[in-house]
Amino acid sequence: MTVLQPTRNRPLAHPEKPSFAQLPANRAVSVGIASYNIQKAIGTDMRRMPTRTLAVIDEIGADIIVLQEADRRFGSRLSALPLPLLAAHHWHPVQFETRAASIGWHGNAILVSSRVEVVRHAVLRIPALEPRGAVLADLRVDGALLRVVGMHLDLSGLWRRRQARAIIAHVAAQPGNPPTLLMGDLNEWRVSAGAIADFSRNYSVIPTGPSFHARMPIAALDRIFVSGDLALEGAGVHHSVRSVVASDHLPIWVRLGLNID
């Protein structure tokens, strides 16, 4: 199967890894997954507009959305996306160990559509200089099982590497071995060093493209890694009129073919 290296607008053929097998058509389920640092629903115009953030999420057309900075930082840590608004857009937050009106673990959240069943979930405690974390959910989509990990790593390179290694160890210790997708804001500017290199020893990198800064994207701070029996159908950065102002990060996305159990 042709591996795609997407740009902001459309995928392009790319000969390098990852290498994905072609799944039999009658055994494959197509699923869209995205990662988005929503910056607490505060846009580059410094306006907090949850409706605009949800509009961008809906534009992507994914089944599963991994979010960073999904809750407000102080006080009761309210979800940046009000729960009634999420329900109105038919999104269901995975229920991690959060405060009553929050949806994220240290701001990391996973939203799923009604197509997706949550089989199990866990928070991944990682070493941190500042409040950071990761979350994991085993999800079933039309009979196909997928493990999704969302993360937001530290600004410090030393701590990022510690966190990457901790996440890899946590995932390895989980029961079962379904196809696994790790994604989020790594805060890693280097292309193939640091935390990127650590994850790449265990997972294949999906080349999506630069996602930061939204108004002039030059850095691929948001990343996707995968393992397992997956077929890559496409991937990229979601670039739209709304996404340029809704956050300082652009969303990244991938569409995968999964084997039915």
Residue 201 amino acid letter: R
pLDDT bin (cut points 50, 70, 90) of residue 27 is low
pLDDT bin (cut points 50, 70, 90) of residue 58 is very high
Sequence spans of domains, the chain: 23-256
Residue 10 amino acid letter: R
Please say whether the beta carbons of 80 and 47 come within 8 A.
Answer: no
Q: Are strands 64-68 and 109-112 parallel, antiparallel or unpaired?
A: antiparallel
Q: What is the pLDDT of residue 26?
A: 54
Q: Could you say which DSSP state residue 174 is in?
A: S
> φ, ψ for residue 247 (rounded to 5)?
-160, 165
Q: What is the pLDDT of residue 48?
A: 97
Distance CA 23, CA 20 (A): 9
* Across 12-16, 29-33, 183-187, least confident range: 12-16
Owner of token pair 């969303």:
251
Task: Give 224's strand partners.
Answer: 183, 206
Q: What is the pLDDT of residue 8?
A: 34
Distance CA 209, CA 5 (A): 8
Per-residue pLDDT, averaged over 18-47, amounts to 80
Distance CA 88, CA 191 (A): 39
Q: What is the pLDDT of residue 75?
A: 63
Assign domain 23-256 one CATH number from 3.30.470.20, 3.60.10.10, 3.40.50.800, 3.40.50.2000.
Answer: 3.60.10.10
Write the pLDDT tens digit of every residue in 121-173: 999 999 988 878 899 999 999 999 999 999 999 999 999 999 999 999 999 99
pLDDT at 113 over 90: yes
To which H or E segment does residue 115 belong? none
Token representation of residue 81: 């996306």
Distance CA 44, CA 33 (A): 24
Q: What is the pLDDT of residue 15?
A: 25
